[in-house]
Structure formats: structure tokens, C-alpha cells
């Protein structure tokens, strides 16, 4: 048995956890740049709560609220310049995965005047500013991962970077901040968390510890499934989903993702399908593809999910996903070639060829 376990983030979880631990926010300096999108920080209530705390402790803050969904290199470059000009001591990311990932890149660029493509070298002359993460979705687990997934318009896909210094230093996880999430975002992010757990569990890089987190996350997803389908999502369920998302993040911090994410990026980039839904559409085909290479683990997953076989599981989650994308053959070829370029494709438990990927895309396409 050989593995590494490392999560650098100090996590506070539970209703009211930010107020209860507000002195933690004073550890990082006198000037904070808040990084967020157009609505999540305001609608969740995090922005007014944290501004009150900053006022109380006389911490000066600026707000960069221009992060779009699936943030681009261009946006984080602008954010990095804003942080540098403001002379921020630390960065606070508030929102779903998009603002949290952008916050990590901005924390690096604030202190490294470099071409943003240099982020992917994962070595930075100066250590990134400390990052505080406050999730308002329950899915990406970005609050406990080192990864920052950014849209590469030049490469027509999404790519992630991250090293041990891009783990958030601190995460406040309060399900009350996820209550304002629209229903579709709640569903898509829950599916993303499920995919993190499953891809990590079946990854070549899975470890005994990451498997524990993955199994627990899948079990929690089963507990929440009916409420997700029926849009009957109470606070207890929100808390479970946030916890599941955190566990999924802890899993992929060790294992990375595999081909579901690699394939899903093209569905997001070209078809504008939200990240979690893009992954979910591929999930059942991915399990079928890998079944012979990970029979015991996939049987265990199905047992945890209370399903007899992959087909039954696919049917159970289909109300959350809707119809697959319309893909023509040149799109399938293009997306498959792009997926093969993703580093994480090599982490898949079964060796993958470009035609395997193409077959999975065809199977989920509404054309077929």
C-alpha cells in the first residue's frame, strides 16, 4: 500500500460557521480582494455577511465581480491586475466553482507578472496570495481542491492547473449560502459532485483514503436523489449535498478526474452545456465502458446507489439530465481528439483510444 494524503485547507462546516469563526479572517492581512460572479455572492447573502465582518475588523476590501461561468484566461488576467493594483494581501472567492477557480488563478497572477498561459507550468516565482473559499454551490468541491479550471479560447477547451500552494487556506462551508441556488444549478452541481466521487473511485490513482471519501459521497447522493428529482430540497438535504461536494473535492485532490470530465469540457465549450450536466450525460456510458476493468468497484457503486445494473442507474438519474446533445460526426471526431489531449484521460482505469471516446459521444448523442 503506497499513497500520499494531503489537503491543505482548514475547513469550517455548518450553519453560521463564518460568523462563529470570523477572527480566522484576520489572519491574512489588511486588504482583501473579493472575487465573484454577477449574482452568487449577493443572492446567497455571503457578500453582505463578509463585508460586515471586514468592516468590524477594519479590513479594507475591493470587489472583482466580473467572473463568468467557466471563467477564461482573459478574465483572470484582468482580475490579477486588479488584485495587484489594489495591493491585496489575500483573495476571497465567493460563488460556485467558476469564481472559486478564478480566485485561485488571480491569487497567482496578483504576485506573478507573467503570461497567463504560464499558469499551466504549475511553478510560480512567487507563492500565490492566500485564498479563502466560500462556496455557494454544492458540486465542484473547489474549496478543498488545488485545481483551477479555466477556459482556453486559444485551444478551444478547458484546462486545469494547480499545485499545493493553490489549495485555499480556509473554506467556510455553510449550506444556508446554497439555498438561493436555482433548481437547475442545484441539480447540475450535485451531479458534478457524484462524478468526482465515481471518477476518483475508479481512477488508476485512487487510494484507500480517497475511496473512503468516494463511497461516503455516493451513499449521500443516494439519500438525496428522490428529493433532487422532486425538487423537494430542504436544508438538511442542502447540507448533505454540500458535504458530499466537499468529499468529492477531497477525492479528486488525490486522484484527479478522468474521461467524463475530459469529454464533458467539449460539451460545455461547444454546446454551452453546464459542467455538471455535461458530466452526467456521459456517466452511464462511462460505467458501461469501464465495467470489465473495474467490475467489483462498479458493482459496489451500484449497490450503494441501490440499483441492480448500470441501465437501471442510468434511468434513475435521467430525469435530472434531459436529452443529450445533437452531435454530428465531425463534432464527435473533433471532441474525441481534444479529449485524448487531456492529461487526465490517462488516469482512466481502462486504456482509452480515440475511437472509444467517439463511441461514447455517439451513444449519448440525441442523433443516435
Q: Would you call 291 helix, strand, or coil by DSSP?
A: helix
**CB nearest Fe ion: which residue?**
192
Q: Which does 75 bind (CB under 5 to 8 A by kind): Fe ion, ligand NAP, none?
A: none
Contacting residue, 9, 40, 186, 336, with ligand NAP by CB under 6 A: 40
Q: Would you call 133 helix, strand, or coil by DSSP?
A: strand
- What residues does 72 pair with on adjacent strands? 151
Which span (125-133, 187-195, 219-227, 299-307) binds Fe ion, by CB under 5 A? 187-195
Q: What is the dihedral of CA 182, 185, 191, 193, to 10 degrees?
A: -100
Which span (120-128, 178-186, 202-210, 358-366) binds ligand NAP, by CB under 6 A? 178-186
Is the CB of 188 or the CB of 365 nearer to ligand NAP?
188
Contacting residue, 130, 276, 280, 325, with ligand NAP by CB under 6 A: 276
Q: Would you call 348 helix, strand, or coil by DSSP?
A: coil
Q: Does residue 256 interact with ligand NAP by CB under 6 A? A: no
Q: Does residue 165 interact with Fe ion by CB under 5 A? A: no
Residues present in the chain in total: 368
Contacting residue, 11, 14, 29, 43, with ligand NAP by CB under 6 A: 43
Element of type H or E holding 47: helix 46-56
Contacting residue, 192, 199, 211, 331, with Fe ion by CB under 5 A: 192
Contacts of 362 (CB under 8 A, 6+ apart): 327, 332, 368
Q: Would you call 157 helix, strand, or coil by DSSP?
A: strand
Residue 162: CB minimum distance to Fe ion, A: 13
Contacting residue, 72, 75, 98, 237, with ligand NAP by CB under 6 A: 98
Q: Does residue 199 interact with ligand NAP by CB under 6 A? A: no
Residue 41: CB minimum distance to ligand NAP, A: 6
Contacting residue, 37, 168, 200, 256, with ligand NAP by CB under 6 A: 37
Answer yes or no: are the C-beta atoms of 109 and 73 closer than 8 Å.
Answer: no
Q: What is the CA radius of gyration of the chain?
A: 20
Q: Render the burial of 74-104: b for 16+ CB within 10 Å, e for the rest.
A: ebbbbbbebbbebebbbbbbbbbbbbbbbbb
Q: Does residue 199 interact with Fe ion by CB under 5 A? A: no
Is the CB of 254 or the CB of 310 nearer to ligand NAP?
254
Element of type H or E holding 249: helix 235-255
Residue 154: CB minimum distance to ligand NAP, A: 17
For the record, the C-alpha cell of 164 comes out as 499545493
Q: Does residue 189 interact with ligand NAP by CB under 6 A? A: yes
Residue 352: CB minimum distance to ligand NAP, A: 20
Residue 341 CB neighbours (<10 A): 11
Is the CB of 96 or the CB of 324 nearer to Fe ion?
96
Rounded CA gap, 250 and 258, in Å? 15
With contacts defined by CB under 6 A, how many residues of the chain interact with ligand NAP?
33
Site for ligand NAP in 298-327 (CB under 6 A): none
Residue 118: CB minimum distance to ligand NAP, A: 19
Closest to 325 (Cα-Cα) out of 286, 287, 269: 269
Q: What is the largest CA-CA distance in the chain?
A: 60
Answer yes or no: are the C-beta atoms of 247 and 145 closer than 8 Å.
Answer: no
In the complex, the residues that contact ligand NAP under the rule CB under 6 A are 36-40, 43-44, 69-70, 95-99, 101, 136-137, 139-142, 145, 147, 149, 158, 178, 180-181, 185, 189, 192, 275-276
In the complex, the residues that contact Fe ion under the rule CB under 5 A are 192
Amino acid at each position: 500500500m503506497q499513497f500520499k494524503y494531503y489537503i491543505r485547507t482548514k475547513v469550517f462546516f455548518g450553519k453560521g460557521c463564518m460568523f462563529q469563526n470570523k477572527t480566522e479572517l484576520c489572519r491574512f492581512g489588511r486588504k482583501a480582494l473579493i472575487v465573484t460572479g454577477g449574482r452568487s455572492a449577493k443572492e446567497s447573502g455571503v457578500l453582505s455577511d463578509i463585508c460586515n465582518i471586514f468592516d468590524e475588523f477594519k479590513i479594507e476590501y475591493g470587489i472583482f465581480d466580473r467572473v463568468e461561468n467557466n471563467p477564461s484566461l482573459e478574465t483572470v488576467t484582468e482580475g490579477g491586475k486588479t488584485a495587484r493594483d489594489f495591493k491585496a494581501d489575500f483573495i476571497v472567492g465567493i460563488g460556485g466553482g467558476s469564481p472559486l477557480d478564478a480566485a485561485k488563478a488571480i491569487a497567482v497572477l496578483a504576485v506573478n507578472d507573467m503570461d497567463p498561459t504560464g499558469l499551466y507550468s504549475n511553478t510560480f516565482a512567487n507563492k500565490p496570495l492566500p485564498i479563502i473559499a466560500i462556496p455557494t454551490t454544492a458540486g465542484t468541491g473547489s474549496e478543498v481542491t488545488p485545481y483551477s479550471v479555466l477556459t482556453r479560447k486559444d485551444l478551444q477547451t478547458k484546462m486545469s492547473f494547480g499545485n499545493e500552494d493553490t489549495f485555499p487556506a480556509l473554506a467556510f462551508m455553510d449550506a444556508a449560502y446554497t439555498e438561493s441556488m436555482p433548481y437547475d444549478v442545484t441539480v447540475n452541481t450535485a451531479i458534478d459532485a457524484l462524478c468526482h466521487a465515481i471518477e476518483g473511485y475508479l481512477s488508476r490513482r485512487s487510494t484507500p483514503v480517497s475511496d473512503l471519501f468516494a463511497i461516503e459521497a455516493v451513499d449521500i447522493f443516494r439519500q438525496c436523489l428522490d428529493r433532487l428529482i422532486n425538487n423537494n430540497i430542504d436544508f438538511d438535504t442542502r447540507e448533505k449535498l454540500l458535504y458530499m461536494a466537499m468529499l468529492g473535492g477531497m477525492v479528486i485532490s488525490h486522484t484527479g478526474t478522468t474521461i467524463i470530465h475530459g469529454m464533458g469540457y467539449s460539451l460545455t465549450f461547444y454546446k454551452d452545456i453546464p459542467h455538471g450536466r455535461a458530466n452526467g450525460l456521459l456517466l452511464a456510458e462511462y460505467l458501461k465502458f469501464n465495467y470489465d476493468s473495474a467490475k467489483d468497484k462498479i458493482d459496489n457503486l451500484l449497490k450503494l446507489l441501490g440499483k441492480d445494473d448500470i441501465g437501471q442507474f442510468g434511468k434513475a438519474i435521467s430525469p435530472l439530465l434531459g436529452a443529450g446533445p445533437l452531435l454530428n460526426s465531425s463534432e464527435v471526431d473533433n471532441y474525441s481528439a481534444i479529449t485524448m489531449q487531456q492529461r487526465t484521460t490517462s488516469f482512466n482505469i481502462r486504456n482509452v483510444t480515440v475511437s472509444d471516446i467517439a463511441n461514447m459521444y455517439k451513444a449519448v448523442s440525441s442523433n443516435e
